Amino acid sequence: MKVLVLGGAGYIGAHTAKALAARGDQPIVVDNLSSGRRDFVRWGPLVQADIRDGAALDAAFAAYKPDAVMHFAASIEVSIGEREPLAFWDNNLAGSISVLGAMQRSGCRRIVFSSTCAVYGEPERLPLCERHVRKPINTYGRTKLAVENVLEDAARAGDIEHAALRYFNASGASPDGDIGEEHEPETHLIPNALKAAAGLGGPMQVFGSDYATRDGSCVRDFIHVDDLAAGHLRALDRLAGRGGSFACNLGTGQGVTVMEVLDAVETVVGRPVPRVMSGRRPGDAPELYADTRFARDELGFAPARSNIEQIVEDAWRYHGPRWRSAAAA
């Protein structure tokens, strides 16, 4: 299949482009490189364009005639969304509507959309199942929910068939160490803990140690980025085969605490993680983990590399060489 990978120079998009190419599909990356990296585009051509540029999308659809779209292009940093909501809505919602318009003009009907467990908001029941009420508590989650709503309307009207994949905590890096997680600023737990263990930038902050969890820290569901990529291929195959539209969690179903992640980092790096205990971070739910039954039963999906030590080991293989030498300098 030829697949237009929007945001394919970013973390999850690049891993999915690699996975598509590895099985013989053809990824064509569309990315404005605002946060994506040129050197992460290695498995097919790059169209450097913004998804809000309808004419540029029309040209890409005309040139490559893709069988499907995978849509990773979005603003994702939660705190920036709170500070600059209009820019977030423009990129995430207006951008996605622009993509759907270009699909309609070109006749391309299949789309796999990067959604998030943030669409659920505060869990009323755990594990979080796809039918859980969607009441996001931040701008980021609300923009993603809005796109899900647009996709559902377009699907009902018969315009598209789509998968909305609700990621839990994407983490890890490609096992061969060639691509990994690069965010600026970096706010995520595992890279921050690895950095602190490497001796870069001082102690990390642990946001909250008084939650009603087994050790007082938050519980999250960490899924290896290669498992996420594999989930995308399953979703694509399901759209190409049976068709229809669906939402699906991509997680492991296993909750891991922040403290357990720090233990894994210490084991893998062989050094302590300097830390300070801080207050709760606004907007953090105490516990989030996925109900994985739909992914398993409907997509035949099971994570293969999402053990927390494996995730940390792969992330460290990617970051370690650079951060060790930066800390030594």
In the complex with ligand UDP, which residue's Cβ is closer, 162 or 195? Answer: 195
In the complex with ligand UDP, which residue's Cβ is closer, 110 or 224? Answer: 224
CA angle 58, 62, 65 (to 5 degrees): 120
192 binds ligand UDP (CB under 6 A): yes
Is the CB of residue 83 less than 8 Å from the CB of residue 45? no
Rounded CA gap, 178 and 110, in Å? 29
Q: What stretches of the chain adopt beta strand conformation (E)?
A: 2-6, 26-31, 46-48, 68-71, 110-116, 161-167, 169-171, 204-207, 219-220, 222-224, 246-250, 256-257, 275-278
Shortest distance, position 19 Cβ to ligand UDP, whole Å: 22
Shortest distance, position 126 Cβ to ligand UDP, whole Å: 14
**Contacting residue, 204, 235, 290, 295, with ligand UDP by CB under 6 A:** 204
Shortest distance, position 140 Cβ to ligand UDP, whole Å: 9
- Return the residues of window 36-75 that contact ligand UDP according to CB under 6 A: none
Taking CB atoms, the residue at the shortest distance from ligand UDP is 218
What b-and-e string marks burial along 237-262, b requiring 16 or more CB atoms within 10 Å of the CB?
ebbeeeeebbbbbbbbbbbbbbbbbb
Q: DSSP code of 93?
A: I
In the complex with ligand UDP, which residue's Cβ is closer, 99 or 258? Answer: 258
Shortest distance, position 118 Cβ to ligand UDP, whole Å: 7
| Strand-pair partners of 69 | 4, 111
205 binds ligand UDP (CB under 6 A): yes
**Contacting residue, 284, 287, 298, 309, with ligand UDP by CB under 6 A:** 284
**Tokens 């939650």 belong to which residue?**
211
- Return the residues of window 130-189 that contact ligand UDP according to CB under 6 A: 169, 187-189
Instruction: Determine which one of 140, 167, 211, 289 is catalytic.
Output: 140
281 binds ligand UDP (CB under 6 A): yes
Which of 232, 220, 295, 316 has the alpha carbon at shortest distance from 261? 220
Residue 302 CB coordination number (10 Å): 14
Q: DSSP code of 279?
A: P
- Return the residues of window 236-265 that contact ligand UDP according to CB under 6 A: 258
In the complex with ligand UDP, which residue's Cβ is closer, 149 or 205? Answer: 205
Q: For this structure, is 167 an active site residue?
A: no
Residue 309 CB coordination number (10 Å): 14
218 binds ligand UDP (CB under 6 A): yes
Applying CB under 6 A, what is the total number of residues that bind ligand UDP?
Answer: 14
In the complex with ligand UDP, which residue's Cβ is closer, 99 or 189? Answer: 189
Is the CB of residue 32 less than 8 Å from the CB of residue 13? no
In the complex with ligand UDP, which residue's Cβ is closer, 9 or 265? Answer: 265
Q: What would the two tokens of residue 289 be? A: 């983990």
Shortest distance, position 122 Cβ to ligand UDP, whole Å: 13
Q: Which residues are annotated as catalytic?
A: 140
Residues that bind ligand UDP (CB under 6 A): 169, 187-189, 192, 204-207, 218, 220, 258, 281, 284
